[in-house]
Amino acid sequence: MKRLILLNLVFSFAMALQAQDLSFRFEELTAPDYVRAVEKSSKTCILPIGVFEKHGAHLPLGTDLYIARELALRAAGKEYTVVFPWYYFSQINEARHQPGTISYSPELIWKVLQETLDELCRNGFDKIILINGHGGNNAFLNYFGMAQLSKERDYSLYWFQPSYEREILKEMEALTQIDQYDSHGGNRESSLMEAIKPGVVHLDRSGEQSGIDLDRLEHLEHVYTGIWWYASYPNHYGGDGAKANARAGELLINSVVEQFVKVIQNIKADETVPGLQKQFFNEAGNPLKTKQ
């Protein structure tokens, strides 16, 4: 009897350790572990989106990928959620003139993202969270999110959009510099990369090209045109990353991860979005019966 109790205790301890060691990185899970991971994550998955593009002369082409996935991994380490591998099928037409830009067609990026979501849903996830590291995706993802209402889905799609606390940004600037044109490859992104992957950052090269806004469309008030980014930053570099550092980057990372953890917890508990989607699709199937 004592031996049976001891064996049960050992088995329980082993199972507890196994559960504790369950990876939240999608690519590291075995098939049996994947089943457990879906359950442990409350059927919630994070899809970190970036792109391959120039970030000045000093940051790697995969900067947006590094940043988006690092934020996802750190948050998942605090609130268990499965994190999808690097996803780089993104909108980046505005940088096609720069070396290393991998620019897929608009049709392809739409189809690949939709099929990825469909496959994640087929494999058990009913809540999928996007975290985007690439500003050039914003308009695309906004419209893609709205287009999810075009047909009934068996999952809910959420897009985490962090806010940057003013005090944190002031602390960052005190550790680095005030970067007037900080928009792409500048002080903020350079500091994040110094914290995440310093071995691929070359701050000594940050002054080799200009990151100043040329403002070549200032004569066209109240007008949007697709060439706007090239008109301002033809070097595909906005700002000055020369004085960036890891301490400043960690400040921002910690602030965003704290937000993200709370967002994940709220999404896991959320019943409103799935419920509203169901109601919407029921009404959309027969609009004449929708209460007026």
Secondary structure string (H, E, C) spanning 226-289: CCHHHHHCCCCCECCCCCCCHHHHHHHHHHHHHHHHHHHHHHHHCCHHHHHHHHHHHHHCCHHH
By C-alpha distance, which of 256, 243, 75, 86 is closest to 165? 256
Angle, in degrees to the nearest 10, between helices 187-196 and 166-175:
80
Q: In whole angstroms, what is the distance from residue 86 CA to residue 48 CA?
A: 6
Per-residue pLDDT at 17: 42
Instruction: Identify the sign of the CA torsion 94, 96, 102, 107.
Output: positive
Note the CATH number of domain 25-270: 3.40.50.10310
Nearest-angstrom CA–CA distance, 241 and 246: 12
Q: 241, 203 in Cβ contact below 8 A? A: yes
CB-based contacts of 100: which residues, under 8 Å, 6+ apart? 52, 53, 54, 61
In 3D space, the residue among 125, 188, 201 whose CA is nearest the CA of residue 162 turns out to be: 188
User: C-alpha angle 142/146/149, rounded to 5°?
Assistant: 160
At 126 the three-state DSSP class reads coil
Q: Are residues 48 and 9 in contact, defined by beta-carbon separation less than 8 angstroms? A: no
Burial class (CB in 10 A: 0-12, 13-18, 19+), 40: middle
Amino acid letter, 228:
W
- Residue found under tokens 């999952």: 155
Decide: 64 and 46 in contact? Cβ < 8 Å. no
Confidence (pLDDT) at 16: 43
pLDDT at 178: 92
Best CA proximity match to 118, nearest among 155, 159, 158: 155
pLDDT recorded at residue 13:
44
How high is the pLDDT of residue 53? 98
Residue identified by tokens 């940057």 is 164
Q: pLDDT tens track of the chain, all 292 residues?
A: 556 555 555 444 444 444 569 999 999 999 999 999 999 999 999 999 999 999 999 999 999 999 999 999 999 999 999 999 999 999 999 999 999 999 999 999 999 999 999 999 999 999 999 999 999 999 999 999 999 999 999 999 999 999 999 999 999 999 999 999 999 999 999 999 999 999 999 999 999 999 999 999 999 999 999 999 999 999 999 999 999 999 999 999 999 999 999 999 999 999 999 999 999 999 999 999 999 9
How far apart, in Å, do the first and last CA atoms of the chain sit? 70
The reported pTM is: 0.92
